Structure 1
Amino acid sequence: MMSAIFSGIGALKTRIDVVKTSVAVRDDDMIASALREMTDRLFDIQQASVLVQQDNLALIVQNKQSVELQTVLEKKYAQLLVAFDGAVKVSEDLHRYALYTTARGGIVMHCKNPKSPVEEAIYLCASCAGEGKKTILQLDTYLWLRCPQHGKVGSDIPDSGPNVMMF
């Protein structure tokens, strides 16, 4: 009987070892499975992180380009405001002038209501005025006024006849 007891205890010990081994294998499998799941999840997170970093970099580049474009547009806007103010001033000044035919048949712009003898003597190029520019005609020779862009126009100096001396 003792041998049967020892034999039963030996079998029980073997069974306990088998169960321990089975539990250890099962635990190892569970640990390995959990480790695989965690590794897969970590890989997915890393991929998502790389995509977010790429998107972030693209947004940084786009933001930099937007800031540069905004700077350019602000400078253009300031230039346009200056040009517009200048055009408004020239336009307001040109309203003080009207078409006038000189004694020699030249078509010029002349001040409607001159406030001084200096304004009385000023003639503007009619072609330039039509383009929104104020160009004062300069006396070129005795009989001609000159616009740097459009050339000569007959002056308001009357022809005195054949006795006029030409220089």
Structure 2
Amino acid sequence: MSQERKGAATFKGNPITLVGPELKAGDAAPDFKLNKDLLNEVSLSDYAGKVKLISVVPSIDTGVCDAQTRRFNEEAAKLGDNVAVLTVSVDLPFAQARWCGAAGIDQVVLLSDYKAKSFGQAYGVLIQELQLDMRSIFVIDANDKIQYVEYLGEMTEHPNYEAAIEAVKKLV
């Protein structure tokens, strides 16, 4: 049975329940299976030896999620080849691909947690009431140890972009 964290965050001021553990810096990064497209899955090991910035958004088709992904796409080009910038949402891979094409996103890899929502549960970001993943940021070092975590308290707010980018820069 997964851990439930009632009232761990809010959506437009209303309390929501997050399913899964609250991860902290120093924890080993949980493995995951996410869809790159409808048939192909990736896991943590696919990014072995790289610093990983994982930007989690509820849905790519909302204003804050769009802005968050565009911002990390701009930053990704400056971070170098040893950094993988991943955006995770429960959007279908088709919607992610359409959005990337329309937005000109070419540095960030969009991955879908739509099938089993296993990423959301492993990283403690699955919103029980909405079956979406809560906005959050994880920076994981080349040895798969979490170095930076930001769980947003309110789903509609922006993350601390500068702190996340600084956490990545310290690792490369």
TM-score (norm 1): 0.23
Please state which structure has a larger fraction of its residues in helix. 1
Higher relative contact order (CA 8 A, sep 6+): 2
Q: Which structure: greater strand fraction?
A: 2
Name the larger-Rg structure.
Answer: 1
